[in-house]
Amino acid sequence: MRKIKAQLFISLDGVVEAPDQWHFPYFNDEMGAAVDATLGRADTLLLGRRTYDSFAGAWPEREAAGGEDAPFAKVLGDARKIVVSNSPLDPTWRNTEQLSGELAAAVTALKNEPDTDTPVWISGSVSVVRQLVAAGLLDELNLLLHPVAVRTGMRLFEQAATPVPLDLVSAETFRTGVLNLFYAVADAPGAATYEDAKTHLPQN
């Protein structure tokens, strides 16, 4: 069974919108290596329409220009790109297809494809990530947590009555203060109160 994993740039106050406006000062060789280890090795990408349009408007030109980022652009171009969109898609970027049918059912079918040991990666595409978390279909969430409070913009998780418990799989601190965090969606931790918590306070 194939794994579905997502990578997002996120601020200290949970903002994931328009990272190009605030995350580049923190993009160093460590973050470049982290992105290369995920998206840079992907053979299949699952993208929301807005993210796809942004990628398709930039990466083919960067590949053609032959600059420093051309090898990474080629990886993205060669990857199978599955786009989640409610409106018809007329792709101009190679290896692009539109997801067919309801999201949860289509992603379940994608997970059931023969395992290639290479996960399906989601970049950005917040609405897709939210839906897959809610459906229990996201295997891992990679958050590159930036030490900045953006203070405006869309956050990863909307206000809702139901918490989203996560298990921390691994954590790494970059020289810039960015935290490279990998989470798996977890079961609810169970009920507890202050009476339970206070037993762990220092007893003097």
Distance (Å, rounded) from C-alpha 79 to C-alpha 155? 28
What is the pLDDT of the chain when averaged over all its residues? 94
Count of positions (residues) in the chain: 204
Selected residue with higher pLDDT from 71 and 188: 71
Q: What is the pLDDT of residues 167-186, one digit of tens each?
A: 999 999 999 999 999 999 88
In which band, very low, low, confident or very high, does the pLDDT at 1 lie, cut at 50, 70 and 90?
confident
Structure tokens at 21: 């406006």
Place of tokens 């982290």: 34
Q: What is the pLDDT of residues 144-157, one digit of tens each?
A: 999 999 999 999 99
CATH code of the domain occupying 4-190: 3.40.430.10
Q: What is the pLDDT of residues 60-99, one digit of tens each?
A: 999 999 999 999 999 999 999 999 999 999 999 999 999 9
3-state secondary structure of 168: strand
Percent with pLDDT over 90 in the chain: 83
Amino acid present at 113:
E
Distance (Å, rounded) from C-alpha 104 to C-alpha 100? 11
Which residue, among 197, 27, 56, 60, has the nearest Cα to 123 in the 3D structure? 56
